[in-house]
């Protein structure tokens, strides 16, 4: 049989499509395979943002690193009390600077099933900011120009030694890196969105502040090997928000919102 280019092209196209489908299918969830499988939700990794020489954002009387650590400790305590069968890992438990790569490494080493990074937001106006409310950030699949919030978070890289070598692969202009990252993140993207929406729902139910789920190109999320959400608990450079974020009542509301979302998430992903 004489194979002309016109005849060969459809065959090659089908082969390429089959390879792409096969590769993507490797990242589907166990329930999509048609085989009997079980998943036990065992480990949560809590990541208090910043720390040590990296204070994060500032309010009038407080810094992001301290608020994030305080909320994270209270969340760990609540999880230990109400979900004793779940192992809780902290990337830091004191005022220590932890490199961004190390945070995701800790989560991977402990075989985390969910990565929650706790932060405070800020806006360009300074301490007279009027912005308020929480944001739930998930890693963006489409790599576009870094938005202001992402640049601020990723600026922590430059405090680390040898950052140019260590983060050389974090080059969104490289098509190969972008494709590999997109394929890798598909495995957990659905659960990240699910958890973000569950936390968002709880925030809206427990206080009068607005909240939203957004995509951001944040390295600490992009390097996670599990479902991951960064929780911007509020604007620390808004005077009223700063007071709320530092109060026991405000922190307890935030903790309870995240806790209830974790409980709901666990029910949906465990099988």
| Domains, the chain, ordered by start | 48-269 (3.40.630.40)
- Mean pLDDT across the stretch 235-256? 96
Global pTM reads 0.73
- The answer to whether the CB of 159 falls within 8 A of the CB of 55 is no
Q: For 197-212, write each residue's pLDDT tens digit.
A: 999 999 988 876 778 8
Q: For 134-151, write each residue's pLDDT tens digit.
A: 999 987 765 333 333 333
Of 237, 232, 259, the closest CA to residue 88 belongs to 259
Q: Comparing 120 with 205, which gets the higher pLDDT?
A: 120
Contacts of 105 (CB under 8 A, 6+ apart): none
Q: For 78-100, write each residue's pLDDT tens digit.
A: 999 999 999 999 999 999 999 98
**Planar angle of CA 214, 215, 216, nearest 5 degrees:** 115
Q: Can you tell me the distance from the alpha carbon of 257 to that of 24, in angstroms, rounded to the nearest whole number?
A: 34
| Helix, strand or coil, per DSSP, at residue 30 | helix
Which among 17-21, 28-32, 60-64, 125-129 has the top mean pLDDT? 60-64
Q: For 180-191, write each residue's pLDDT tens digit.
A: 445 555 667 788
Show the DSSP H helices in the chain as ranges: 5-25, 64-82, 100-109, 148-154, 163-166, 175-206, 219-222, 239-246, 248-269
The mean-pLDDT minimum among 6-20, 142-156, 210-224, 255-269 falls in: 142-156
pLDDT of 105: 86
Q: Comparing 161 with 13, which gets the higher pLDDT?
A: 161
């Amino acid at each position: 049989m004489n194979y002309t280019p016109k005849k060969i092209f459809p065959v090659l196209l089908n082969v390429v499509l089959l390879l792409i489908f096969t590769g993507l299918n490797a990242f589907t969830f166990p329930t999509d395979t048609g085989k009997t499988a079980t998943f036990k939700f065992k480990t949560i990794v809590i990541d208090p943002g910043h720390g040590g020489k990296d204070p994060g954002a500032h309010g009038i009387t407080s810094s992001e690193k301290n608020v994030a650590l305080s909320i994270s400790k209270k969340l760990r305590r609540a999880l230990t009390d109400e979900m004793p069968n779940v192992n809780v890992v902290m990337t830091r438990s004191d005022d220590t600077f932890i490199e961004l790569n190390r945070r995701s490494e800790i989560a991977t080493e402990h075989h985390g099933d969910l990565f929650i990074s706790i932060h405070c937001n800020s806006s360009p106006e300074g301490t007279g900011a009027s912005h308020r409310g929480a944001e739930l950030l998930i890693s963006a699949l489409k790599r576009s120009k870094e938005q202001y919030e992402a640049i601020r978070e990723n600026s922590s890289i430059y405090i680390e030694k040898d950052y140019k070598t260590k983060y050389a692969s974090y080059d969104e202009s490289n098509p190969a890196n972008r494709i590999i990252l997109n394929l890798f993140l598909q495995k957990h993207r659905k659960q990240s969105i699910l958890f973000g929406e569950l936390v968002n729902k709880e925030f809206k139910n427990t206080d009068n502040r607005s909240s939203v789920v957004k995509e951001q190109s944040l390295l600490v999320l992009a390097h996670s090997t599990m479902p991951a959400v960064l929780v911007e608990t509020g604007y620390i450079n808004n005077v009223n928000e700063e007071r709320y974020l530092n109060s026991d009542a405000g922190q307890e509301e935030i903790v309870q919102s995240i806790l209830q979302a974790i409980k709901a998430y666990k029910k949906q992903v465990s099988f």
